[in-house]
């Protein structure tokens, strides 16, 4: 009976040795492909070049991240939402020929331009808007509606 255990152990070790041999042979072949035509000195130069390139790439990525953050932060102060409302402010004129145009940034700060049409002519008004409210003058109901309808531009 002990002979069977010894034979099984020898077979197991033989398979294990064959597996390790194949693994190390494939590893050696892969290494030889990577270093084909290189000597010790040029291999060192290649590795140093790769490390230098990786360091430069890391610096470039950090710069691009900070630049994108800066652009995103500054972009919040550009016109991002545009709203247009047409309406009829006077009973004696026909159609919705008057309008209100709101041009605001991400913080609802910007300007509202109103054009009121009447038979005698068109009058233009502009109001500053800060944080969704009139900065110097109160907003009319129509201007508040135009501001609420302002949608982000895509």
Do residues 153 and 79 make contact, with C-beta atoms less than 8 angstroms apart?
yes
Q: What is the mean pLDDT of residues 84-101?
A: 80
In this prediction, residues 128-134 reach a mean pLDDT of 86
44-58, 60-74, 76-90, 98-112 — most confident range = 60-74
In the chain, the percentage of residues whose pLDDT exceeds 70 is 94
The pTM (predicted TM-score) of the whole model is 0.56
Q: What is the rounded average pLDDT for all residues in the chain?
A: 86
Cβ proximity of 109 and 130 under 8 Å: yes
Domain boundaries, the chain: 2-74, 81-152
Task: Kindly tell me if the per-residue pLDDT of 29 is higher than 60.
Answer: yes
The larger pLDDT score, comparing residue 79 to residue 40, is at 79
Q: How far apart are CA 91 and CA 79, in angstroms?
A: 34
Task: For the chain, state the CA radius of gyration.
Answer: 37
How many other CB atoms are there within 10 angstroms of residue 112's CB atom? 26
Burial class of residue 101, CB neighbours in 10 A (0-12, 13-18, 19+):
middle
Asked if the model's pLDDT at residue 117 lies above 80, the reply is yes
């Amino acid at each position: 009976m002990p002979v069977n255990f010894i034979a099984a152990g020898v077979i197991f070790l033989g398979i294990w040795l064959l597996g390790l041999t194949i693994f190390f042979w494939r590893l050696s072949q892969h290494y030889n492909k990577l270093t084909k035509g290189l000597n010790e000195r040029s291999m060192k130069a290649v590795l140093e070049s790769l490390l230098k390139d990786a360091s430069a790439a890391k610096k470039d990525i950090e710069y691009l991240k900070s630049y994108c953050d800066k652009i995103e932060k500054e972009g919040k102060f550009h016109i991002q939402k545009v709203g247009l409302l047409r309406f009829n402010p006077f009973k004696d004129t026909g159609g919705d020929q008057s309008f209100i145009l709101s041009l605001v940034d991400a913080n609802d700060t910007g300007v509202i331009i109103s054009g009121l049409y009447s038979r005698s002519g068109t009058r233009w008004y502009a109001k500053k808007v800060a944080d969704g409210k009139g900065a110097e003058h109160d907003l009319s109901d129509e201007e508040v509606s135009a501001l609420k309808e302002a949608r982000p531009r895509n």
